[in-house]
Amino acid sequence: MKPANNNFVHLVLGAAATLALSIITVIVLVPDIGFTLANQTADDIFPQQYKIVSPKMPGYMEFAGEVVPLKNFEVWERMEREFIVNTYFHSSTILAVKRAGRWFPVIEPILKRNNIPDDFKYLCLAESNLENVTSPSGAKGFWQFIESAAEKYNLEINSQIDERYHIEKSTQAACDYLNDAYQMFGTWSMAAASYNMGTNGIENQIERQKSNNYYNLMLGIETSRYLPRIIALKYIMQDRESYGFDITRDELYAPLKFYEINLDSSVTDFADYAASFGLDYKTLKLYNPWLRDNYLSNRTRKVYKIKIPEHGSIELID
The pLDDT tens digits of the residues spanning 166-206 come to 999 999 999 999 999 999 999 999 999 999 999 999 999 99
Please tell me the predicted confidence (pLDDT) of residue 43: 62
Q: What is the pLDDT of residues 142-165, one digit of tens each?
A: 999 999 999 999 999 999 999 999
Q: β-strand 258-263 against 66-67: which pairing, if any?
A: unpaired
- Cα 260 to its chain centre, rounded Å, is 28
Q: What is the pLDDT of residues 205-243, one digit of tens each?
A: 999 999 999 999 999 999 999 999 999 999 999 999 999
- Residue 105 CA to residue 99 CA, distance in Å, equals 11
DSSP annotation string for the chain: -HHHHHHHHHHHHHHHHHHHHHHHHHHHHHHHHHHHHHT--HHHH-TT-----PPPPPSS-EETTEEP-TTSHHHHHHHHHHHHHHHH-HHHHHHHHHHHHHHHHHHHHHHHHTT--GGGHHHHHHHHSSS--B-TT--BTTTTB-HHHHHHTT--BSSSBBGGG-HHHHHHHHHHHHHHHHHHHSSHHHHHHHHHH-HHHHHHHHHHHT---GGG----HHHHHHHHHHHHHHHHHHTGGGGT----GGGSPPPP-EEEEEE-S-BS-HHHHHHTTT--HHHHHHH-TTB-SS-B--TT---EEEEEEPTTSS----
For 35-51, write each residue's pLDDT tens digit: 454 566 656 655 556 67
For the domain covering 65-251, report its CATH number: 1.10.530.10
